[in-house]
Amino acid sequence: MNKAAVRSIIESTLKSGNKTPGLFDLPKIIGVKSRLESCASISEVVGVLEENRGLISKSFGLSDPEINEGVTKLKALEKNA
């Protein structure tokens, strides 16, 4: 798994949102980040993102289509690996 490419896709997706995590969401987001960093495959990354979709959406102001686009990019990266 190309961790730099995965990180780039996730970061660009999060930046497309219109919010930054608030004080009370920050510890949860850091926990999700830690789980993402420990993933060994893109399918694990997608699983963690899907599991925390509501939190990520609310914290970063992302719509479902924006999150879906990021997940699609990750899945395409997995297929090309």
Q: Report yes or no: 45 and 6 within 8 Å, Cβ to Cβ.
A: yes
| pLDDT surpasses 90 at 66 | yes
- At 36-54, the pLDDT tens digits run 999 999 999 999 999 999 9
Q: How many domains does one find in the chain?
A: 1
pLDDT of residue 11: 95
> What range defines the domain where residue 68 resides?
3-80
Its sign, for the CA torsion 33, 34, 39, 44, is: negative
Judged by DSSP in three states, 39 sits in coil
